[in-house]
Structure 1
Amino acid sequence: MTALGILYPGHFAEDDYPRIEQLLGSDIRVDLIGTENEEDADGTATAPGAPDGNAPDHDAWLRRSVEALRLSGAEAVVWANTRGGFDQGWEGAHAQVRELALAAGMPASSTSFGFVNAAREIGVRRVAVAAPYADDVTARFTQFLRAGGLEAVAAHSAGQATAAEVAGWGEAQVRALARAADTADAQALLVPCTALHTASCVAELEKELGKPVLTANQVTVWEALRLTDRRVNAPGLGALFTREPVVQV
């Protein structure tokens, strides 16, 4: 049994994770650890290593999270807040996961890095971004991708203000967002925001668009598996879970 620790802020699309665990159909356990952090007006929970990381409640946040991870028996941990990672920039996001890894005593990463690593895994560089964010937030995400060696050839922003609004979207809205962002130049479509329910529609989106689709909760679990050196074939979770890894030359 491989236990994956997912630090998830708030209560939005956390039900994606038991669905993903079921679709994996293997000896994988996905343990969701609620961070209990409040959101700001943009729907972004305070992240480890964020600019206010020296605040008194930051250390308490980290201690609670680490203790919960240890009790769960997790072998790796991923901070499941896409914007909470890329808003720190490439170097800041690295500092964020380093702090988490040192505190937890296990490999750590974030959803933001999961997108970059997943795109590399399936061998794509040109991507389209379908984001529920405002334009400026989407721009910061594409900048983060660029730092990771990816090119955003198209980006569409839905302009939603809070994670709670995004969490209320149904599959029809997710599909509409994906179609609005897709372009023939893109080798894959990226859908950030872990507040968005996407686990049930990744495979259908790939059939509709004819290309790989990477979504936040999907790549979060994949990134945790990568950290534990596990590969699972799960067609219901899209091309990311069915393709052989790309050999880097």
Structure 2
Amino acid sequence: MPDPVPTFGLIVPPREGQIPPEAQHIYPDMNFIARGLGLVEMAHKDYDRVIADTADHAILLAASGADAVSLMGTSLSFFKGPDFNEKLISILKSATGLPATTMSQAIIDGLARFSAKKIAVLSAYEDDVNAKLCDYLSVYGIRVMKIAGLNIRNIADLPHISGEYLMARCRELLMQSGECDALLISCGGLRTIDLAPTLEKETGIPVVSSAVAGLWATVNLIGDQKHRDAFGMLFADPSQD
């Protein structure tokens, strides 16, 4: 008999709890379920309002058949620093007895995949959240050469950001950043699935985006035997490095 298809439980910021579209695009052979936290604004006060509910959502996802769980909100897990992010992962594991990760951990894992220490960053955030992101990255020895934020506060505005606009901003940023090891696109609500292959081909540097890296890290909690390198360098076979 074939191995059972794993189910991944995603805790997503919007209240609607929709599965990110990248999930079935990249992993059509996997099962995903999701629950929404009800975040309205990418701001410290709103992060504090919803973050305590993550364990309850994780428990419900586990009860619905999840084999692993992930908090799919980057700023939700980096806004209080690396220790808080590690605490969140520990809480998710303890609450469910399942493997767990966060999107903030995923971007660190993704950058580590390329030993990236000097990066350019495009984010959705306002300046205060960008500052927290830079602080978070610096603890891992990652230097932000240049950061550009889209100054978005309300998460309802994120779906209106087009891929063409993001591509133009990424190209502009990379022209201004000097020599970098990688480009980070931070915020899981930015639709970036088509950006990485194009930008990587143009520049030769890897692109790590929250939306894609978050799923990559979540699926890797269980393991993935398929090659999916059409979606960028992050999915390349490590044995071919």
**Paired position in structure 2 for 1:18:** 24
Q: Deviations over 1:166-204 (max 9, x none)?
A: 221111111122123223311110001111111133212
Letter matched to residue 38 of structure 2: N
What is the CA-CA distance between 1:209 and the residue it aligns to? 3.0
Percent identity between matched residues is 20
**Paired position in structure 1 for 2:110:** 118
**Paired position in structure 1 for 2:9:** 5
Q: Give the distance between the partners of 2:39 and 2:20, measured in 1 at CA.
A: 16
What is the CA-CA distance between 1:41 and the residue it aligns to? 6.3
SS class of match (1:227): coil
**Is this contact kept in 2: 1:5–1:33, CA < 8 A?**
yes
What is the CA-CA distance between 1:152 and the residue it aligns to? 1.4
**Paired position in structure 2 for 1:28:** 30
What is the CA-CA distance between 1:220 and the residue it aligns to? 0.6
Asked if 1:101 corresponds to 2:107, the answer is: no
Letter matched to residue 16 of structure 1: E
Is 213-222 or 36-45 further displaced after alignment?
36-45
SS class of match (1:138): helix
Q: Which runs of 5+ in 2 are unaligned?
A: none
Q: Please list, as runs of the form range in 1=range in 2, the aligned pairs for 1:1-249 lying within 5 A after superposition.
A: 1-10=5-14, 11=16, 14-22=20-28, 27-29=29-31, 31-40=32-41, 42=43, 46=47, 50=51, 53=52, 58=53, 62-71=55-64, 73-182=65-174, 183-230=177-224, 232-244=226-238
Pair 1:18–1:41, CA change in 2 (3 A): same
The count of corresponding residues between Structure 1 and Structure 2 is 233
**Higher RCO, 1 or 2 (CA under 8 Å, sep at least 6)?**
1
**Is this contact kept in 2: 1:44–1:84, CA < 8 A?**
no
SS class of match (1:175): helix
What is the CA-CA distance between 1:146 and the residue it aligns to? 1.2
Q: Give the distance between the partners of 1:46 and 1:81, measured in 2 at CA.
A: 10
Q: Give the distance between the partners of 1:245 and 1:225, measured in 2 at CA.
A: 19
Pair 1:45–1:241, CA change in 2 (3 A): farther
Q: Deviations over 1:193-225 (max 9, x none)?
A: 111111133212222333111111111111112
